[in-house]
Amino acid sequence: MSEFNFNIEEANTLWKRWTLNAKKYPNRDAIIHWIAGEEPIRWTFQSLIEKAKKFSIHIKKHGIEKGNVCAIVMRHNPNFYPLYLGISRTAALPAVLAYPNPRLHPDKFRQGIEGMSQRSGLDYIFTERELEPIIRPLIEKPGSTIKAIFFPLEWDTNNEIDSKLDNEIEENANNVDSSEPFLLQHSSGTTGLQKPVVLSHRAVLNHVKYYGKAIGLKEDDKVVSWLPLYHDMGLIGAYHIPLAFGIPSVQIDPFQWVLAPVIQLEAITQEKGTLLWLPNFAYNIYAEKVDEEELEGIDLSTVRRVINASEPVRHDSHEKFAKRFEKYGFNPLALTAMYGMAETTLAVTQTEEGKPIPELPANRNLLSNGEFKFANENSVKRICVSSGKLIEGCSIRIVDENRNDLPDGKVGEVAVHSVSMFDGYRNYPEKTAEVLENGWYYTGDYGFKYEDDYYIIGRKKDIIIVAGKNIYPEDIEDAINNVEGVIPGRVIAFGDEDEKMGTEQVAVVAETKYETEDEKKNLRLNILKAGMAIDINIHKVYLVPPRWLIKSSAGKPSRKANKERLINGNDPQVWSK
Amino acid sequence: MISPELKEVILKQLNLDDFDLQDETIAPQVPGWDSLNHINIILAIEEKFGIKFKSRELIQLKCVGDLQKLVDSKLGK
């Protein structure tokens, strides 16, 4: 077993690192593009670089310049990877955006892109021909930042390359400094609240070094992932880290995975995968929603670490997963947890491999009052699961509402400092000023420290996390406000724990004057449809009479107070389904 | 044509009183039919009809009509 070794000085930008890897391991698989039921398509480090060069020449010829933001909106395609690398070679910034689900209304998709372009200044969109009618009007709109739309899958990248242009691009790529921006990603939100995070080469390379060390990356590791690449865990964890470190990653289509989750287990078995990142709900799916017959021949004995992140880690999900898959060779001590965010590239804390994840039985009442104390036989208990210890290059402070430090065991907001920190939200100084102060990023998450472990127990903001995807309740409330029958401004959305699926689900409470059963059923259906139009699945609808919702001191309906009232109460005025 | 039995299982899982399910209907057109619910719908169909789907078969489904055909073929219809 080789010791972890990653020297940033050898190659101080991602393009230099990838080309170095192509020299060091020309024939090693870089990306194994997985398609269920077919032979995977394999890019070696060398073939990937060669194709990326061809893409970069097209990109250059289309007039794209250093610093331009190039959004990629594409389905699972083997040419995605060389295109992405090719953009980076021209010193432009790749930004992966989600391909629109057919559920999403085209206008909403357009609005989303438009919102992003105003904030992050998207310059170009690389997409598939199918989306042209939806995206084209955006370019023609006055004031649009988007200059052009391209269909790179139609480009001829098989011919010889123009060596003069190739040399010019390479020379420019070699002059890029590590402090310059490398990529742009959107931290969360759906239609109106995306926050564009720009990361420098240095931030990402530092992350490969320090997070790679924390998870003990090895030359014979292999990542197997279905995570979408517009999500930080997929993009950084399962794509950039292996690619920069020089190990293979298997990339599965997220749309195929949700239809047939077993394909990830098949890929692990066939490719002898060692490392996975998974959001919590996936453990429940594997434990309970995959038929036993489908698991014939599955072998998970090569997996040395599964990293649970991007939604709260639930003790039961891990237990169920380990119990089911032990007979398929899975080592329960491979279960680990991570805490992180796009603003710090990815990880801040990580639990250790080969040891059970620390768990603390806390007194729930004291915890709600801001203090961790062990539960005794008389107290209501809450099991807190550790998110791990700090990775090198990161620091955490737990602070009160005035951003003053709190002692260990006290619950407060988590503030992070990291060598892989973002430089602020792009074109969003007011939001940046809100969360960034003297080099500390105030995360809005609540947690506490006990011994050397950090426990994240809640959030200051009312974000709902469904299957690893962050959803702002404001987005849902705005959509529901326009539904006929709902009293405008009298709607709240919140996250409801779904223990069976191991995630949260969206619940909506709306005031209405409707009284009959038929009117209410119809209204519920229209509320569900309004959610669908912004690609959000509303799981439960509560309808209440006018003036039922409790208001906060600011005069707006309070999400927290009303959620508690609904869950604890049994009010006959509440209609729900 | 979508059989009343199949329709009933799907609507029950989605907690819908009624919804016009046609052969060409696709999941994103039906309120509540997202990826998490899809898994539950498939399991409920398996239970109701006493059949088992293979993941390969599930990946190829494009619309409710495809699902109906798959169920019928499993039932030897």
- Give the domain CATH number at B49: 1.10.1200.10
Residues of B in contact with A503 (CB under 8 A): 36
To which residue do tokens 């489908």 refer? Answer: A294
Give the per-residue pLDDT at A229: 96
**What would the mean pLDDT of A11-34 be, rounded to a whole number?**
98
Is the per-residue pLDDT at A190 higher than 60? Answer: no
Nearest CA in chain B to A294: B54
User: Given this model, what pLDDT does residue A268 score?
Assistant: 98
Q: Which residue do the tokens 């995206």 mark?
A: A135
List all residues 6 or more positions away from A163 whose beta carbon is below 8 Å from its beta carbon: none
Q: Which helix (H) or strand (E) holds A475?
A: helix A473-481
Total domains in the fold of chain B = 1
Q: Which stretches of A132-279 are DSSP H helices?
A: 132-140, 163-174, 201-214, 232, 241-245, 254-259, 262-271
Predicted pLDDT at A192: 52
Helix residue ranges per DSSP H, A289-408: 315-325, 364-368
Residues 6+ apart with CB under 8 A from A94: A70, A72, A84, A87, A88, A183, A184
Residue A565 has pLDDT above 70, yes or no: yes
Q: Give the mean pLDDT of B2-8.
A: 95
List, for residues A213-240, the tens digit of each pLDDT value: 999 999 999 999 999 999 999 999 999 9
Looking at residue A15, its pLDDT comes to 98
Query: For chain A, how big is the Rg over CA atoms in Å?
Result: 24
- Whole-number pLDDT of residue A193: 61
Residue-wise pLDDT for A501-529, tens only, equals 889 999 999 999 999 999 999 999 999 99
Under an 8 A CB cutoff, do B52 and A291 touch? Answer: yes
Q: For tokens 């997963």, name the residue.
A: A321
Spatial distance between the Cα atoms of A82 and A152, rounded to a whole number of angstroms = 11
For range A389-396, the mean pLDDT: 97
Give the contacts of A541 (CB within 8 A, at least 6 positions apart). A507, A508, A510, A524, A527, A528, A576, A577
Question: Mutation test of the interface with chain B: which of A265, A294, A499, A537, choosing the one with the most B Cβ atoms within 10 A?
Answer: A537
Tell me the nearest-neighbour CA distance from A375 into chain B, angstroms. Answer: 34
Q: What is the mean pLDDT of chain A?
A: 92
- A129-174 pLDDT, tens digit each: 999 999 988 888 877 889 999 999 999 999 888 899 999 999 999 9
Contact: A101, B28; criterion CB under 8 Å: yes
Residues A449-479: tens digit of each pLDDT: 999 999 998 887 788 989 888 888 888 998 9
Residue A107: predicted pLDDT: 83
Note the pTM of the prediction, 2 decimals. Answer: 0.90
Higher pLDDT, A56 or A115: A56
CB contact under 8 A, A285 and B39: yes
The more confidently predicted of residues A159 and A179 is A179
- Please give the pLDDT value at position A188: 63
Q: Does B39 touch chain A (CB under 8 A)?
A: yes
Two tokens, residue B46: 């398996």
Q: Which two tokens stand for residue A447?
A: 């947690």
pLDDT of residue A113: 85
- Average pLDDT estimate for A395-416: 96
Please give the residue range of the domain that contains residue B8: 4-74
Residue A119 has pLDDT above 80, yes or no: no
* Token representation of residue A86: 């090719």
Kindly give, in sequence order, each residue whose CB lies less than 8 Å from that of residue A354, ignoring residues fewer than 6 positions away: A333
Would the pLDDT of A571 be above 90?
no
| Nearest CB to A36; choose among B46, B52, B56 | B56
The mean pLDDT value for A344-366 works out to 94
Which domains does chain A possess?
8-249 (3.40.50.12780), 358-459 (2.30.38.10), 464-576 (3.30.300.30)
Helix axes A45-61, A163-174, angle to 10 degrees: 100
CA distances from B8 to A53, A99, A518, B20, B45 (A): 54, 32, 20, 11, 10
Find chain A residues with C-beta within 8 A of B61's C-beta: 259
Q: Is the pLDDT of residue A247 over 70?
A: yes
In sequence order, which residues have a C-beta less than 8 Å from that of residue A1 and are 6 or more positions away?
Answer: A218
B26 contact A CB<8A: yes
Q: What pLDDT score does A2 carry?
A: 59
User: Which candidate, A125, A70, A119, A63, places its Cα nearest to that of A92?
Assistant: A70
A104 residue type, one letter: L
For residues A220 and A211, give the distance between their C-alpha atoms in angstroms, rounded to a whole number: 17
Pairing label, strands A93-97, A275-278: unpaired
pLDDT confidence tier of residue A109, bands split at 50, 70 and 90: confident
Average pLDDT for residues A66-95, to the nearest whole number? Answer: 97
**Distance of alpha carbon B32 from alpha carbon B29, whole angstroms:** 9
Best B34, B43, B66 member to test A by mutation, with max A CBs in 10 Å, is B34
Query: Distances in Å between the alpha carbon of B38 and those of A471, A502, A525?
Result: 20, 16, 19
Contact at CB, A259 and B28, closer than 8 angstroms: no
User: Measured between CB atoms, does B50 come within 8 Å of chain A?
Assistant: no
Q: Would you list the DSSP string of A197-239? A: EEEEHHHHHHHHHHHHHHTT--TT--EEE---TTSHIIIIIII
Is A293 close to B58, i.e. CB distance below 8 A?
A: no
- Region of A52 (left: φ > 0; alpha: ψ -120 to 50; beta: rest) is alpha
Q: What are phi and psi of A97, to 5 degrees?
A: -115, 155
pLDDT band at A21 (very low <50, low <70, confident <90, very high): very high
**Cβ contact A101:A535 at 8 Å:** yes
Q: Chain A partners of B31 at a C-beta cutoff of 8 Å?
A: 525, 528-529, 531-532
Does residue A189 surpass a pLDDT of 90? no
Q: What is the pLDDT of residues B15-47, one digit of tens each?
A: 898 899 999 999 989 998 988 889 999 999 999
Q: Could you tell me the strand order of the sheet in which A124-127 lies?
A: A93-97, A69-73, A124-127, A148-150
Exposure pattern of B2-34 as b/e (b: 16+ CB <10 Å)? beeebbebbbebbebeebebeeebebebbbbbb
Chain B neighbors of A279, CB-CB under 8 A: none
Among residues B36, B34, B6, the alpha carbon closest in space to that of B22 is found at B6
Task: Give the pLDDT confidence of A364-386 residue by residue, as tens digits.
Answer: 889 988 999 999 988 888 889 99
Q: Which amino acid is at A488?
A: P
CA–CA distances in Å: residue A338 to residues A96, A270, A329, A398, B75 = 23, 26, 23, 17, 46
Instruction: Calculate the CA dihedral of residues A195, A110, A128, A55 and round it to 10 degrees.
Output: -40
Q: How far is A142 from chain B (nearest CA, A)?
A: 32
Q: What is the pLDDT of residues B53-66, one digit of tens each?
A: 988 899 889 999 99
